[in-house]
Structure 1
């Protein structure tokens, strides 16, 4: 069975991190996930007003929103029913500002794993988050 095409809005101010995510997804062999990257929360709100996405991949610290709870709340309001997956370089600290059931991933553990350790399956986590959201919104 072929996987469906997914559209992901990646809110990330560091383009190197955005490329790491895209590379990890491609290395996993999942070419059915299309990313659109925006650098600021303001740009994300504009995109969400104009278009629909299957998932939002969210960095919590952005140039125009540095407090994690503010970034989360603003994104949640703008996203409607679109699921959000948090990808943060400081998730151990940032998770205290999020609802306990928020799907999240630590950038440092995902892309800087120790030699021989399997990398986090980013593509699988993206698809899993979307699938879980579909179950809850039926």
Structure 2
């Protein structure tokens, strides 16, 4: 359990740190120009950031499984795409439950969902700022 918490905390810090760096780049772009092209570029940065976070956690699930922290229940053996798919569904808090972790990997899944919720909120703030940039008061 301690190892699962250490892994989850490490992934949380890596995810939040990378997300904040990418969002900061988005804010910098927004300060330079608020054209439609810049706004679309910022939207792509946000998408890239969330996909990166999902990839971090997918790797974490693979590492956790290799360390014997748990496994996954689903049909067949897990592939890299299965780890990424589960992570992407989990980080968005959608949780389809066609693949689900067992044992201590459930801790990692819970921390990923909390991380995703927090990061989506940060992204929403950037989108709100972006949508209101250039409006007259």
Q: TM-score, normalised by structure 2?
A: 0.24
Which structure is higher in helix share? 2
Higher relative contact order (CA 8 A, sep 6+): 2
Q: TM-score, normalised by structure 1?
A: 0.24
Based on CA coordinates, which of the two structures has the bigger radius of gyration?
2
